[in-house]
Homo-oligomer: A and B are copies of this chain.
Amino acid sequence: MIKAERQQLLTKHIANKQSAQLKELSELLNVSEDTVRRDIKELADLGIIKAVRGGAIAHSPVPHHYRERENLQVTQKEIIAQKAVRFVEDGQVVFFDGGTSTLAVAAALRKDIQITVVTNSFPVVNILEDYPSAEVIFIGGRLNKKAFTTFGSETIDAIRTIKADISFLGICSIDLEYGITTRDYEDCIIKKNIVANAKRVIALSTINKVGTAEPFVVCSVNAIDVILTDDAIDEKTAALFEEQGVLIQ
């Protein structure tokens, strides 16, 4: 049996049984437990199943709570957030996109800030509940249970009626040639409308997302006003971004 075939079988088995042990898989696939372990690791790296001690389990369909994922790259996001809050001034209308980067920015705002926040992200609202002087406008729509945001035509319509002073945009991928791109279609449409309706767009991107591209195009690089990253970008690339009229920090 070829490796790919074996891994397909393994995946299917996990999908049916929800979980499986090394020994059981080793017997089923007629290979050593080491090989099963390696297969599991490969499939887990691709996000297809989840490797656990003793075997593998199916990926949980819905995350328990969005706070779980908040822990990824906390320090990098903190760096970006500190850069970002300097752009926010009292009296402004500020839009927060979904995602953990923008969430970190919201959490980094000083408690007494007097701004109007517009968002379609439930986690952002959770943070800002405790900010007495921040007026919060929530953009309604259909609930995305994975991202904890709203989406759909109502959301789009609402975004179009508000022209924010600053819009913080969480970035999936950004590239000089391809612009800003996302993996998710609905997310792309939302971001497109955010960009189109903001006076100033500030994109938040960890350095490893720079120079990558995804299927759905949000906008070209020159539609962005500022890009904030967690680390210094090499001078050559920085110059190329600045040629496009983008401030990169």
Instruction: Encode A1-39 as 1/0 by CB contact (under 8 A) with B.
Output: 011110010000000001101000000000000000000
Q: Counting chain B CB atoms within 10 Å of each CB, which of A5, A8, A140 scores highest?
A: A140
Contact of A61 among B3, B126, B132 (CB under 8 A): B132
For A21, the chain B residues whose CB sits under 8 A away are 2
Q: Which chain B residue has the least Cβ–Cβ distance from A56?
A: B4
Residues B136 and A142 in contact, CB atoms below 8 Å apart: yes
A62-B130 contact given A8-B19, A122-B122, CB 8 Å threshold: yes
Q: Which of A50-88 contact B (CB under 8 A)?
A: 50, 52-55, 57, 61-62, 64-65, 67-68
Is A178 an interface position by the 8 A CB rule? no
Is A139 an interface position by the 8 A CB rule? yes
Taken together as a complex, chains A and B put the C-alpha atoms of A200 and B150 apart, in Å, by: 27
Residues A64 and B48 in contact, CB atoms below 8 Å apart: yes
Is A129 an interface position by the 8 A CB rule? yes
Q: Which chain B residue has the least Cβ–Cβ distance from A19?
A: B5
Contact of A132 among B57, B62, B154, B158 (CB under 8 A): B62
Q: Counting chain B CB atoms within 10 Å of each CB, which of A5, A55, A62, A125 scores highest?
A: A5
Contact of A143 among B61, B125, B154 (CB under 8 A): B125
Residues A148 and B136 in contact, CB atoms below 8 Å apart: no
Q: Which of A94-137 contact B (CB under 8 A)?
A: 120, 122, 125-126, 128-130, 132, 135-137
Interface residues of chain A, those whose CB is within 8 Å of chain B, are: 2-5, 8, 18-19, 21, 46-48, 50, 52-55, 57, 61-62, 64-65, 67-68, 120, 122, 125-126, 128-130, 132, 135-143, 145, 148, 150, 154-155, 158
Taken together as a complex, chains A and B put the C-alpha atoms of A126 and B122 apart, in Å, by: 9
Measured between C-beta atoms, what is the minimum distance from A15 to chain B in Å?
11
For A138, the chain B residues whose CB sits under 8 A away are 138, 140-143, 150
Q: Contacts A2-B53, A61-B132 given; 13 further ones with Cβ under 8 A?
A: A2-B55, A3-B52, A4-B19, A4-B50, A4-B53, A4-B55, A8-B18, A47-B64, A65-B126, A132-B145, A137-B142, A139-B140, A140-B154
